[in-house]
Amino acid sequence: MTEADTIPPLAPLVDSHCHLDFPDFAADLDAVLARARAAGVERMVTICTRLRHEPPVRAIAEAHAGVFHAVGTHPLSAAEEPMATVEDLVALAAHPRCVGIGESGLDYHYSPASAETQRRSFRIHIEAAQETGLPLIVHAREADADVERLLSEAHARRPFACVMHCFSSGERLARAAIEMGFYLSASGIAAFPRSESLRAIFAAAPLDRILLETDAPYLAPPPVRERNEPAYVAHTARALAPLWGLTPEAFAKATTANFDRLFAKARP
């Protein structure tokens, strides 16, 4: 038995960002999905990080009800993979269960030497989001200024939808994202005891711009002491609901409505 087997259900929930194709889930994916549904997680988006891994990511979405996928190249993979083209992404995004572009973005913490390659890849993903109308899924780490600049410049030319995945950046990027109509997605990081300043940023944002995610298998929220999985988004929902003065049930309903508005292709 895992901790996920004992979570009281909290519906309707959505895990807007997880990585179900990762080796961490190879041995027990069916059980992971069953635990998610038992916890109230009705839908999940499994995210592609390298385009050569898109076929197995897509296959998971095709094989399981309530699972959708996104296509893209992670910024930390941008220098190791063939550069995607806008045409590549647009073609892959036409799949009926593909609901987003990404994750893309900038990460100068682990890979500052590839910054220019990351920026080139990011621009391509932004253009694909503009072409398809699907939301852009953005990863930002120690690159707030460049992320804001590239998003703002592109949005001014041609607006597009976007979610700041696993948001843990500063207040300025949060404000800029909200002003452009983007969404902030809260992962288990926002529930960590040391994340008071991050919770303050979320609390200052409009409720109708908030999503929930796990980024599983990473970033498990308290009190989890094992691999993260979609069921644990219920812990994050319960931890953050008081920021808006809501019950966990009301917060789950609100964030799921936000997901439906942004990821329109994944609506029931």
Q: pLDDT tens digit string along 7-48?
A: 888 989 999 999 999 999 999 999 999 999 999 999 999 999
| Strand locations in the chain (E) | 13-18, 41-47, 67-71, 98-107, 136-141, 162-164, 183-186, 210-212
Backbone angles phi, psi at 247, to 5 degrees: -75, 155
125 is known to lie in a ligand binding site: no
Consecutive H or E run containing 120: helix 115-132
Topology of the domain comprising 3-266: TIM Barrel (3.20.20)
Give the closest residue to 97 by CA, choosing from 128, 126, 139, 65.
65
Quick: pLDDT tens for 57-107.
Answer: 999 999 999 999 999 999 999 999 999 999 999 999 999 999 999 999 999
Residues 140 and 208: their CA atoms lie apart, in Å, by 21
The verdict on whether residue 107 carries a ligand-binding annotation is no
Whether residue 1 is predicted with pLDDT greater than 70 in this model: the reply is no
Instruction: Copy the structure tokens of residue 113.
Output: 């030497």
Binding site annotation covers 69?
no
Q: Is the dihedral of CA 47, 177, 86, 131 positive or negative?
A: positive
pLDDT surpassing 90 at residue 236: yes
Q: Tell me how far apart the alpha carbons of residues 122 and 26 are, in angstroms, rounded to a whole number.
A: 29
Q: Is 3 annotated as a binding residue?
A: no
For the chain, domain boundaries: 3-266
The C-alpha atoms of residue 247 and residue 266 are separated, in whole angstroms, by 25
**Are 72 and 137 within 8 A, CB to CB?**
yes
Q: State pTM to two decimals.
A: 0.96
CA separation for the pair 236, 189 (Å, rounded): 9
Was 139 annotated as part of a binding site?
yes
DSSP state of 231: G
- DSSP label at residue 179: H
Instruction: Write the Ramachandran bin of 135: left for phi over 0, alpha for psi from -120 to 50, otherwise beta.
Output: beta
19 is in an annotated binding site: yes
